Amino acid sequence: MEEHTGTHTADAPWEHQPVASGTPAREELEIHLLLRDPELIAEVTAYPEGRVRDDFILTALRIGIMALRQAEGQIDSQAVRHEGERLLQDMENHLDAHRRQVTEQIAASLKQYFDPQDGRFPERLERLLRKDGELEQVLRSQVGDQNSVLAKTLGDYLGESSPLARMLGSDAPDSFLNGMTQTLEKALNEDRERILQEFSLNNSDSALNRLVRELKENHGKLTSNLQDSIKEVVSEFSLDNENSALSRLVNRVENAQKRISAEFSLDTGDSALARMKKELLEVLEQHRKDATVFQQEVRSALAEMNARKEEAARSTTHGNLFEAELFRVLRDMSHKAGDLASATGNTTGQIRNCKVGDVVIELGPEHVAAGSRIVIEAKDSASYDLPKAREEIDIARKNRNAEIGIFIFSRHTAPEGLESLARYGNDIFTLWDVDDSTTDVFLQASLSMARALCSRSSAEKAHQQVDFGQIDRSIRDIEKQIKGLADITRLCETIRNNSGKILDRARIISENLAARVEVLDRAVDDLKNLDG
C-alpha cells in the first residue's frame, strides 16, 4: 500500500460498483490507493507505517463499505450478528458489574441497619424494648398506674361516682340491689308459708296428715305379721319340736360324733384305727423277718468270706490272688495315664529261666520318656524284709529291662517298722492292702514317682540340662506325706476315740499328697516341652 500527499480535491479516485450476485467471491485482492483528502491523510498518517497502519486502513475501508451497504439497504448479517453478540456481551458485563455494585451497596446498607454489633436496627430495638424504654413508657402511660389513660377511663365508667355504681349501690331506694333484695324476701316468705302449711296438722290435706293416716293403716298389719314371724322363728329354734332346724342340727352332730368315736376306737374291729394298727403290725413283723433273714445271710457270707480268706492265706494261691488284684488296680491307673500295663509273672525275661517281675508298665507315646519301662514286684509273704526286697527288685529290673522298679509289700505281711513309701536310687518300696482301698494312694504315689524318675533318666541320657530340683522336692514331699499317712493308719488301728481328728488329718494329708502329685506331673510336662 502506497502513501501520497497532495492537494485536496472533491473528486474520489474511485467509484463504488456493486458486485453482481452471480460473481464468485475472491479470496485476495490487491488495491493501490491515492489519497488526496487532507482529513484522510491526517488520520492515516497518525498511525506508524507497517501493519498497524494497514489494519487501520482495512478497518476504515470495511466500515465505509458497510455504511454504503446500509445506505443502499444492504446489511451484512454476519457483521450485525457479531456486533450484536459483542453488544450483548458488553451489556452483560456492565449488568454483572452493576449487580455486584448493587449487591455490595445493599449488603452495606443492611449491615449498617441490621448488624448485631453496631447496626441501627438492633440499637433501635434496644431503645424500644429495654427496661424503662420507649415501649414501656408508652404502655405505662396508657395502662399503668392510677393516672394512666385506662385507669381514668375505667374510673369514669365503673368508679364510685359512675352511673353503674349508683345503680348497684344500696343507698338509693331505686337501686338494683334494693330491688333484688325485696324480690328475694317476697319469694322466700311465700315458700315458707307453703312449707308450713304442708307440715300443719290443722290442714287435712297436708303431707304430714297424709303420712300419719298411712302409718296408722299399715301399723296394724305390720304388728300382726311380725308376731307370726317371731312365732315361726322361735319354733325352729326349739328342742321340743323334733322337726325344728335346731333339733335336726343337734341330731346330725351327735351322729357324726358317734361315727368319729367309733372309727378311732380299738374296741371295734372294723374301725379305721384298728385296721391301721393291724396293718402296721403286719408290716413291722415282715420287716423283722426280713431283717432276721438278712442278718443270717450277712453272717453266713462273712463266715464264708473269712473261711475263704483263711483258706487262701494258708494255701499257696494266696500270693496269686494278691498279685491278680494288684494287677487290676495298676492296669486301671496306667490306662488313665495313657500307659500300657502287662502281667509278666508267668513269663521269663532277659535272664534265662527267670520269671522275677510281676508287672511291667511301659510309658505311653505322650510321655516325655515314652517307651521307658517300670517293673513291679509284689509279695504277700512275711519272709521278705527290705534287704531281700532290694535284691529281688534289682533282679526284676535287669530281667525285665526296666529303668525303675517298684516293690510292693502286703500290708499284713510287711516287716515291722517299714515305711509306707521309700526310695533307694531307682527302686521304690511301698505298702498296699488288698482289702483297704484307701491304700491305693500309695500305689498312685509310687507310679507318679516312677514316671518322674523315668523322665529324669531320659533327660540325662539325652544330655539335656534340666533343673530336677522341683522333681526331687516333690518326691521328698511325697515320701514325707506317705510317712504321715502311715502314721495316721496306725493311729486309726489303735485309737478309735479320736477318729474324727484322725480322719481330718488324713483328708488334709491326702489333699497335700494329691497337690504334690500334680506338681510332679507338671514337672514331667515341662520335660515333655523340653524334649519337643
Confidence band of 530 (pLDDT split at 50, 70, 90):
low
E-strand ranges in 23-97 read none
In terms of C-beta distances under 8 Å and separation of at least 24 residues, what long-range contacts does 20-24 make, across chains too? none
Most confident of 125-139, 142-156, 192-206, 334-348: 334-348
Confidence band of 493 (pLDDT split at 50, 70, 90):
low
Does the pLDDT value for residue 476 go beyond 70?
no
pTM: 0.37
Residue 491 has what DSSP assignment?
H
In order of 153, 157, 186, 509, the CA distances from 167 in angstroms are 18, 12, 21, 115
Confidence band of 8 (pLDDT split at 50, 70, 90):
very low
Q: What's the pLDDT tens digit per position in 429-451?
A: 999 988 888 888 888 888 888 98
Provide mean pLDDT across the span 125-146. 72
Burial 203-217 (b: 16+ CB within 10 A, else e): eeebeebeeeeeeee
Provide mean pLDDT across the span 98-106. 84
In order of 98, 99, 205, 488, 516, the CA distances from 111 in angstroms are 20, 18, 96, 105, 91
- Exposed, middle or buried: residue 178 (CB in 10 Å: 0-12, 13-18, 19+)? middle
Most confident of 149-163, 346-360, 477-491: 346-360
Does the pLDDT value for residue 5 go beyond 50?
no
Q: Where are the alpha helices (DSSP H) in 315-361?
A: 318-337
CA distance 481 to 474: 10
Q: What's the pLDDT tens digit per position in 223-260?
A: 666 667 777 777 776 677 777 777 787 788 878 777 77
Q: Regarding predicted confidence, which is higher, 446 or 137? A: 446
Q: What is the structure's pLDDT at 224?
A: 67
CA distance 169 to 181: 12
Provide mean pLDDT across the span 15-37. 66
Q: What's the pLDDT tens digit per position in 342-401?
A: 998 888 888 888 889 999 999 988 888 888 999 999 988 888 898 999 999 999 998 898
Q: Regarding predicted confidence, which is higher, 261 or 326? A: 326
Confidence band of 483 (pLDDT split at 50, 70, 90):
low
Q: What is the structure's pLDDT at 2?
A: 41
Provide mean pLDDT across the span 167-177. 64
DSSP 276-317: HHHHHHHHHHHHHHHHHHHHHHHHHHHHHHHHHHHHHHHSTT
Provide mean pLDDT across the span 33-60. 87
CA distance 496 to 440: 22
Provide mean pLDDT across the span 486-494. 70
Q: What is the structure's pLDDT at 11?
A: 40
Q: Which residues pair with 404 in a beta bridge?
A: 374
Q: What is the structure's pLDDT at 373?
A: 92
Q: What's the pLDDT tens digit per position in 499-522?
A: 667 777 777 877 777 777 777 777
Provide mean pLDDT across the span 14-34. 62
Confidence band of 20 (pLDDT split at 50, 70, 90):
very low
Confidence band of 16 (pLDDT split at 50, 70, 90):
very low
Most confident of 24-28, 56-60, 63-67, 367-371: 56-60
Most confident of 13-22, 94-103, 136-145: 94-103
Q: What is the structure's pLDDT at 375?
A: 93
Q: Which residues pair with 373 in a beta bridge?
A: 362
Q: What is the structure's pLDDT at 404?
A: 93
In order of 212, 420, 448, the CA distances from 331 in angstroms are 117, 21, 14
Provide mean pLDDT across the span 303-323. 66
Task: Report percent pLDDT > 70 for the chain.
Answer: 72
Phi, psi of 431 (to 5 degrees): -110, 150
Task: Tell me if 400 sits within 8 A of 344, measured CB to CB.
Answer: yes
Does the pLDDT value for residue 22 go beyond 70?
no
Q: Regarding predicted confidence, which is higher, 360 or 274? A: 360
Residue 51 has what DSSP assignment?
H
